[in-house]
Amino acid sequence: MTNPSAATATNVSKIYGHGDSEVRALDNVSVQFETGKFTAIMGPSGSGKSTLMHCMAGLDEMTEGSVTIAEIDIASLKDKELTKLRRDKIGFVFQSFNLVPTLTADENIRLPLLLGNNKGNEEWIQKVINTVHLQDRLTHRPSELSGGQQQRVAVARALASEPAIIFADEPTGNLDSTTGNEILSFMRKAVDELGQTIVMVTHDPVSASYADRIVFLKDGKIAGELLQPTPELVLDYMKKLGH
Amino acid sequence: MLRIALKGILGRKARLVLTSLAVILGTSFLSGTAVFSATLNRTFDNLFSDVFRNVDSYVRSTQVIEADFGAEERQRIPAELIATIEAVPGVADVQGDIQAFARIIGKDGKPLGSEGAGPPTFGGVGQEFKGALWTISEGRFAAGPTEVALDEASAKAGKYNIGDTVKVVAQAGSRDFTLVGIASYGDVRSPGGATFALFDLATAQEFLAKPGFVDAILISGDGSVSDEELAQVISSAIPGSYKTETLTGAQITKETQDQIGTALSFFSILLSTFSYIALGVGSFVIYNVFSISAAQRQRENALLRAIGASKKQVTRALMIESVVVGLFGSTIGLFAGIGLSKGLSALLKAASIDLPSGDLVVPSSAIVNTIVVGLIVTVASAWLPARRAGRVPPLAAMRETAIEVVALGRRRTLFGLFLIALGAAAIIAVTSGASNKWLGLGILFVFSGTITLGPVIARPVALILGKPAQSLRGVTGTMARQNSARNPKRTSRTASPVLIGVALVTAVAALAASISSQIDGVFTKQFKGDFAISTNARGFGGLSPSLADDINTLPEVERATGIGLLTVKIDGKGQYLTTINPATVEGVYDIGLISGSYSDLTPETIFVSQKYAENNDAKLGDTIAVTLADAQVKTLSIAGIYEFDDIAGKYTVSRDLTKDTTVITFDLGIYIKIKSGVSETAARTALQVAVDKYGQGTLLSKREYIDSQSGQINQLLGLIYGLLFLSVIIAVVGIIITLLLSVFERQREIGLLRAVGMTKSQVRTTVRWESVITSLLGAVVGIVLGVGLGWVIVYALRDQGLSSFSAPVGTTVSILIMAFIIGVLAAVYPAWRATRVNLLSAITTA
């Protein structure tokens, strides 16, 4: 049985410039991300993988096509509604500069809830905090946390509001491999144990192998898919695609 | 390196504009006040060189009394000298001149000209004379005791036409005249806004001054000899016993211009003081902007260092930028100041100081001064940040973000505390007897110490002030609070201009509140009546003494008494005597008589204050020699000693002292007690009729009178607030610039917040509250400092009769509200900019 779709892109194009200088960062991309699954988006630099994520997460405007998140068509939303959608339905983990330096770890984790003046589900939040092992770091500020701890706070923040989908953009890009693997395990756990939906952009085959499914992008187009990947399978597939 | 520096400047025009803005504002006031003062001086110079344009010689008395505030009173000379001078060869025409107080009452019954500190209202002589300044533009000059001519502006303001009846109030009371002529003054309709009622000589003598006397004699020569020779001939023709001097037209013109210049220099000094305060405030903003922009360019500078630029070169690049900004900003400031000088006229007008308007004069000294001072202040403010920029390690180029180093050394704390301790020591020394000179130094040290400590106290105070924001606004409030505390140096530098402005306003307000409450107390103590008639024409004219006499005849009135001032010479020094009417003063106006009785006060006696008696070892029966303005010497014996000297001063005499002299006295206030059983409304109606007959003075109830007396200080207060307003504007611009740079610096953070769901309105809230907290920080510390400063000044003035300190509660509350509003307004643009931060460029790794 196929799970319902947490996020769907239909014929999405993103075009920069006009005429001769026109660049198609995304060219008629259609893709679905299933609820309760961990999906990775892979592709070489300039393949459009980050652009796809930005467009689907409502961070960037697409030129053509439509995107639905939790059955809401985001193209029709005004800035305020879009902001609320990001706050309530989407979780984010970025590569770096994930946290607000003036807030404590706890405040950073609850940030989307606090912004929405929403108490949230305390039981759930505690569970998330326990899952990423941050119980004794909650009162610290980002500058007092290691890079790995900062990313764990970011993951916890993404989970805190029980979003419909979490977008992670190279979440381990700035970390050493041990710490990176730890973060990926947490994300895996969030999907398996907490039933979350995660979409992760990465260029690293090892990171991608934590996912249930990999979507390959090349030159702004979907170039293929891989289910139940291992690092070796990913490398083979990438060679086949020619990078 | 010069090219890199210049390219850097042009590459970031927005930064250039922001930095220059502070310089522009600071220097514009400097040039504005210089242009304003020069224009004013030139206007008056022109006016007075016109006055004596056709006068070749000028004869006047040598007997003069100089009193406080540069006022002088010159004796009159006998009119018979006119005939003596007419007989001198070389003399073509002679005119006796009288310049005295006269107020024209308009058709609507209201006196023309302001009763406050506006241009004077004159009465004088207008007749055919070769050297005359007045030329008839309609009708003819007045002839005989019932005719008057008016200056054109007054005739227009009073809506008078030839043939109308005009009421004029002067020394001899109020009288109706027939308007026979309208005159113009040289080329203008009215000299500098003053009003003129012109009579023939005999009428002027009798109505305005004293029959048989004139103030001066104007002579027009026939051109056969030079002005110098003519003056010499006239001088030798007048017997020495008359005690006169003969000046040439050029001399009297020069003297008048110098006198006006001295009077105007008060304005110039006041204005330039405030312009330097504004510039000082501006220098904080300039320093802050350079610091922040140097910090934000840390990576760029580090890169320059990494590829081989020396420390010196990096520093020099910033210094070059400061020179460009200084020149650019000062030049624009110069022109902005010229526009501002027009605004200053408006400001003074609002404070009822109406000045004649003339063509703008832009002295070259103002141009040089503005540019040089602006340049020096800018370069000096940039020096520290530039040196700091040079010291940036090349490795900083590789760092992720460039944040200003926020190290708060213990040395700073110690140095700040040391300065405050020094200042406090100086102030304590003054309170225990040292000279008031130390006070200024003490205040300066306390100010410098507080500003040095600024970064240390900024964080804790900002966190406390931010508490309400946090509970009110949740996480946005928390972020605003933390943002205002995250860089204490920057926050304190931003708040310092607010601090200085607020401290000065608070101190002035404290001083004013203390003076007000003092005056209130004094009048409450001394004034025992029910009504008072007040006039603001201090020093020149006042209420006719016959008004008090008239009021005393009213059936509703128990008793009315007038109080006036007389300028005399005692021991060769100008002094003010208080004049009272001993027959009516008792029970209405209390001077706290300790010994003697009012009936002892005759034209041969004088009362002195208790303080005077103690200081001079004077007792009843001792004599004091008083020289009146007409050079008569009166030897008065002390017949009484009184306690209340706040208003009366050292000496009080009977108003009859001047009865047989050429000296004119006015009442400055009339105090009235009504009969018991007469209703206040009935009394007021009756009194108003009497006052209206004279067309002068304002009838007030006791409470109204006391409020108006203690409120007089508010006029000055308004002027000072107005002048401090520019400092406030600079402070606001400082907040705006800092917020803009902070927003720019926190682009990524704002982008992140927007990505995870912060709405635009929440972004604005965060910036707004940070601004409010910063503004309040400056206000709160400024109020503390200002109240302290006010207390110290009041203490220093205790010898001038200021006995108790009153805290300016109302002003303090208004300042806090204002600071809040200023914070909100300053944040409008930066907050809007913050919502325009590009989300993607903020979150994608550079």
Average pLDDT value over all residues in chain A: 88
How far, in Å, CA of B753 to CA of A97, rounded? 11
Give the strand pairing for A213-218 and A38-42.
Answer: parallel
- CB pair distance less than 8 Å for A100 and B752: yes
Whether residue B757 and residue A88 make contact (CB cut-off 8 A), yes or no, is yes
Q: Match 């020619």 to its residue by tokens.
A: A242
The shortest C-alpha distance from B415 to chain A (Å) reads 29
Burial code (b: 16+ CB inside 10 Å, e: under 16) for A56-87 equals: bbbbbebeebebbbbeeebeeeeeeebbbbbb
What percent of chain A clears pLDDT 70, i.e. is strictly above it?
Answer: 98
Q: How many residues does chain A have?
A: 243
Interface residue of B406, B756, B762, B845 to substitute, partner A, most A CBs within 10 Å: B756
Let me know: does B642 contact B648? Beta carbons within 8 Å. Answer: yes
Contact of B463 with chain A, judged by CB distance below 8 Å, is answered with: no
Walk me through the domains of chain A, giving residue ranges and CATH numbers. Answer: 35-58+77-241 (3.40.50.300)
Choose the closest CB to B757 out of A95, A116, A173.
A116
Q: Is the pLDDT of residue B31 over 50?
A: yes
Alpha-carbon distance of A226 to A209, in angstroms, equals 10
Helices (H), B307-363: 311-350
- How far apart are alpha carbons B774 and B493 in whole angstroms? 10
Nearest-CB residue to B843 (from A87, A94, A114): A94
Q: CA nearest B195: which of B537, B535, B534, B533?
A: B537
Calpha distance A238→B13 (Å, rounded): 48
| Cβ–Cβ < 8 Å for B396, B314 | no
Residues 679-698 of B with CB under 8 A from A: none
**Percent of chain A with pLDDT strictly greater than 90:** 37
Nearest CA of chain A to the CA of B408: how many Å? 18
Within 8 A of B762 by CB-CB distance, chain A residues are: 115
Torsions phi, psi for B588 (to 5 deg): -115, -45
Per-residue pLDDT tens over the stretch A19-71: 788 888 898 899 999 999 999 999 888 888 888 999 999 888 889 899 999 88
Phi, psi of B798 (to 5 degrees): -60, -30
Per-residue model confidence as pLDDT tens digits over B296-334 = 777 778 877 877 788 888 888 888 888 988 999 999 999
Report the alpha-carbon distance of residue A112 to residue B635 in Å, rounded: 91
Nearest chain B CA: its distance from A103 CA (Å): 7
Q: What pLDDT score does B17 carry?
A: 81
CA distance B488 to chain A (A): 13
Residues in chain B with CB shorter than 8 Å from the CB of A202 are none
Predicted local confidence at residue B9, as pLDDT: 64
Q: List CB contacts (< 8 A) between B748 and chain A.
A: 97
The enclosing H or E element of B407 equals none
Confidence of residue B439 (pLDDT cuts 50, 70, 90): confident
Contact between B286 and B310 under an 8 Å Cβ cutoff? The reply is no
Q: Within an 8 Å CB–CB cutoff, is residue A103 touching chain B?
A: yes
pLDDT one-digit tens code per residue, B203-221? 998 888 888 889 899 998 8
- Cα–Cα distance measured from residue B481 to residue B58, given in angstroms and rounded to the nearest whole number: 73
Paired tokens of A193: 């144990």
Chain B touched by A96 (CB under 8 Å): yes
Q: Does A117 touch chain B (CB under 8 A)?
A: yes
What are the distances in angstroms from CA B635 to CA A82, B243, B563, B605, B632?
95, 22, 22, 8, 10
A141 has a chain B CB within 8 A of its CB: no
Phi, psi at A73, each rounded to 5°: -80, 110
Residue-averaged pLDDT of chain B: 84
User: Does A116 contact B at CB distance below 8 Å?
Assistant: yes
- How many cross-chain Cβ pairs, A to B, lie less than 8 Å apart? 78
Between the alpha carbon of residue B82 and those of residues B85, B134, B234, B238, B244, the distances in Å are 5, 20, 11, 10, 13
Domain ranges of chain B: 1-52+264-405, 53-261, 412-523+709-846, 536-696
User: Nearest CB to B758: which of A92, A94, A115?
Assistant: A115
pLDDT at B642: 92
The neighbouring-strand residues paired with A227 are: A213
Q: How confident is the model at residue B67 (pLDDT cuts 50, 70, 90)?
A: low
How far apart CA A94 and CA A84 sit, in angstroms, is 19
State what percent of residues in chain B have pLDDT above 90.
20
**What residues of A are in contact with residue B755 (Cβ under 8 Å)?**
59, 86, 92, 94
**Residue entry with tokens 């400055």:** B668
Q: Are B118 and B193 in contact (CB under 8 A)?
A: yes
Q: What is the mean pLDDT of residues B74-103?
A: 88
- Chain A CB contacts of B759 under 8 Å are 80, 83-84, 115
Cβ(B129)–Cβ(B218) below 8 Å: yes
Choosing among A52, A94, A106, which should be mutated to test the B contact, i.e. which has the most B CBs within 10 A?
A94
Rounded distance between C-alpha atoms, residue B195 and residue B369, angstroms: 38
B844 and A50 within 8 Å at the Cβ level: the answer is yes
B469 at interface of A, judged by CB pairs closer than 8 A: no
DSSP letter at B633 equals E
Average of per-residue pLDDT across B816-823: 93
Provide the angle, in degrees to the nearest 10, between the axes of the packed helices B249-296 and B311-350: 130
CA distance A98 to chain B (A): 7
Task: Tell me what the mean pLDDT of segment B3-15 comes to.
Answer: 68
Angle at A44 between CA A41 and CA A47, to 5 degrees: 75
What does the block give as tokens for B50?
A: 């016109």
What is the pLDDT, as a whole number, of residue B781?
Answer: 93
Nearest Cα neighbor of B169 from B659, B705, B661, B667 is B667
A2 reaches B (C-beta below 8 A): no
* Rounded-to-integer distance, Cα B631 and Cα B76, Å: 9
Q: Do A112 and B759 touch (CB under 8 A)?
A: no
- Report chain A residues whose CB lies below 8 A from the CB of B760: 79-80, 83
Spatial contact of A191 and A38, defined as CB atoms under 8 Å apart: yes
Residue numbers in A near B462 (CB within 8 A): none
Q: Any idea which residue has 């030839």 for tokens?
A: B162
Close Cβ partners of A69 (under 8 Å, ≥ 6 residues apart): A6, A7, A56, A57, A58, A85, A89, A90, A164, A165
Contacts of B839 in chain A (CB under 8 A): 59-60
CB–CB contact A101 B749 (8 Å): yes
On the question of pLDDT at A1 being above 60, the answer is no
- Residues in B closer than 8 angstroms to A50, CB to CB, are 844
- Min Cα separation B836/chain A (Å): 12
Residues of chain B found within 8 Å of residue A103, distances taken between Cβ atoms: 475, 478-479, 482
Point out which residues pair with B606 in neighbouring strands. B638
User: What are the backbone angles phi and psi of residue B504, rounded to the nearest 5°?
Assistant: -65, -45
Considering only CA atoms, which of B290, B288, B343, B351 is closest in space to residue B498? B288
**Residue B473 in contact with partner chain A when CB distance is under 8 A:** no
Q: Based on the number of CB atoms within 10 Å of its own CB, is B654 exposed (0-12), middle (13-18) or buried (19 or more)?
A: buried
Question: So what's the ipTM on this one?
Answer: 0.90
Q: Is B389:B318 a contact under the CB 8 Å cutoff?
A: yes
Query: Residue B165 — pLDDT band, cuts 50, 70, 90?
Result: very high
Q: Quick one: CA dihedral B44, B47, B48, B49, positive or negative?
A: positive
